[in-house]
C-alpha cells in the first residue's frame, strides 16, 4: 500500500549515490548513541577546532570529506535507482570551507497542493532556514515532494520519497564536507508527520532514527503517519520500542487544530523516558498551522548541541 502524505496534518550517478548511502546513512545502525557536545560548540560555530574554550575530547567528528559543492542557494539533482531524478534545494553558508565539516539539516515542506507548488514549498523552507544556516554554520537540504497533490509518498512500497531523502543526504555529503554525526531532521505539517515516521517505523527505507542526531516537527503529529491506525496503547508501544531517546523539538501554534494531538505526543515521549528541556522541547506559539524563521532559530538552539555516534 502506498502512503501519500498530502494533508496539512549537477546530477549524480545512481551507483555513486547508493554506495555513499550505504556508507553514510546505514553505517551507524544498531549502535548509535546520542552525545551532547560542549556548549561552546554552538556558541562559537566558527571555533569548532579550537580547544581554548574547554578540552576538545568530546568533539568526535565523522567528516564526509566531500568537495566541489557551490556556495549560497544551490539546486542539485539526485538519481534514485528505480525512482528517477529529483530536485533538491540547498543552502550553503558563505563561510563554508571544505576544511571545516558542517552539520546538516534535512528540511521537509508540508503538503503543497501540486507538484509545481511542492517545488516552491521546498525553496520556501530552504529560504526560511537560510539566515540561521548562514549565522550558525550549517548546510540545509530541502527535497521536493513527488505526490500528485504536492505531498510526500511514504513506504511501503520501496523506493519512496524516503529514498530521495537518503539520496539527497548522500549527494550533499559527496559535494560538501559534512559532519555525519550532526544530521538534524525538521519537517512542517506533512513533513513533520514524515519525520516522526522515519524515527519510529522501519519499512526497509535506507534511513532511520540512526541517521539523525536529533529532529524537530512544526505542526507535525504522530497520528499523521507514524501512529496512523494505531490506538493509544499501540502508539505508546511504538515509541517505547525506539532504539534511543533521540532529542526531539515540537513546535505548534496555540490555535492549530493539531495542538491536542501534539500535546498527546509530548505525553507519549515523557511517559517513555524523554525529559523536558533535556532531550524534549515542547513549544506553543501564538498562531495557527504555520512556522516562522524565529521558531526555526529556537529549534536550532535546542538541537544544535547533539551528535549521534556509532
pLDDT band at 38 (very low <50, low <70, confident <90, very high): confident
pLDDT band at 240 (very low <50, low <70, confident <90, very high): very high
* Residue found under cell 499501540: 234
Instruction: Give pLDDT, residue 1.
Output: 41
Instruction: Give pLDDT, residue 55.
Output: 52
In a domain, 115, yes or no: yes
- The DSSP bridge partners found for residue 105 are 140, 184
In a domain, 6, yes or no: no
Instruction: Give pLDDT, residue 39.
Output: 83
pLDDT band at 205 (very low <50, low <70, confident <90, very high): confident
pLDDT digits (tens, 9 = 90+) for 91-103: 999 999 999 999 9
Instruction: Give pLDDT, residue 242.
Output: 97
- The parent domain of residue 129 ranges over 32-41+65-309
In a domain, 24, yes or no: no
Count of the separate structural domains present in the chain? 1
Q: Count how many Cα atoms sit within 13 Å of the Cα of residue 68 in the half-sphere of its side chain.
A: 9
Distance in angstroms (rounded) separating the CA atoms of residues 268 and 204: 25
For the residues of 225-276, what is the DSSP string, one character each? Answer: TTTTT--HHHHHHHHHT-SS---EEEEEETT-TTHHHHHHHHHHHHHTT--B
In a domain, 291, yes or no: yes
CATH number for the domain including 200? 3.40.50.1820
In a domain, 2, yes or no: no
- 19 φ, ψ (degrees, to nearest 5): -65, -45
Amino acid at each position: 500500500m502506498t502512503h501519500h502524505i498530502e494533508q496539512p496534518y549537477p546530477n549524480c550517478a545512481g551507483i555513486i549515490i547508493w554506495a555513499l548511502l550505504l556508507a553514510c546513512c546505514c553505517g551507524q545502525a544498531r549502535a548509535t548513541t546520542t552525545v551532547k557536545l560542549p556548549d561552546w560548540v554552538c556558541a562559537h560555530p566558527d571555533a569548532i577546532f579550537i580547544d581554548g574554550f574547554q578540552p576538545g575530547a568530546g568533539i568526535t567528528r565523522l567528516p564526509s570529506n566531500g568537495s566541489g559543492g557551490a556556495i549560497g542557494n544551490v539546486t542539485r539533482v539526485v538519481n534514485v535507482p528505480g525512482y528517477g531524478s529529483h530536485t533538491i534545494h540547498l543552502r550553503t553558508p558563505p563561510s563554508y570551507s571544505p576544511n571545516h565539516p558542517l552539520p546538516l539539516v534535512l528540511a521537509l515542506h508540508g503538503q503543497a497542493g501540486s507538484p509545481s507548488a511542492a517545488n516552491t514549498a521546498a525553496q520556501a523552507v530552504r529560504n526560511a532556514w537560510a539566515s540561521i544556516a548562514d549565522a550558525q554554520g550549517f548546510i540545509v537540504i530541502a527535497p521536493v515532494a513527488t505526490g500528485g497533490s504536492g505531498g510526500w509518498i511514504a513506504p511501503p512500497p520501496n523506493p519512496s520519497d524516503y529514498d530521495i531523502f537518503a539520496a539527497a543526504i548522500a549527494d550533499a555529503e559527496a559535494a560538501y564536507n559534512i559532519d555525519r554525526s550532526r544530521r538534524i531532521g525538521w519537517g512542517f505539517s506533512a513533513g513533520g508527520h514524515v519525520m516522526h515516521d522515519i524515527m519510529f517505523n522501519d519499512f526497509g527505507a535506507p534511513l532511520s532514527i540512526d541517521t539523525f542526531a536529533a529532529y524537530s516537527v512544526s505542526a507535525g503529529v504522530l497520528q499523521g503517519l507514524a501512529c496512523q491506525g494505531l490506538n493509544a496503547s499501540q502508539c505508546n508501544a511504538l515509541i517505547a520500542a525506539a532504539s534511543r531517546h533521540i532529542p526531539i523539538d515540537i513546535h505548534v501554534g496555540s490555535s492549530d487544530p493539531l495542538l491536542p494531538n501534539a500535546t498527546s505526543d509530548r505525553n507519549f515521549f515523557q511517559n517513555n523516558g524523554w525529559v523536558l528541556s533535556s532531550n524534549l522541547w515542547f513549544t506553543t506559539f501564538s498562531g495557527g498551522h504555520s512556522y516562522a524563521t524565529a521558531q526555526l532559530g529556537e529549534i536550532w538552539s535546542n538541537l544544535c548541541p547533539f551528535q549521534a555516534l556509532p
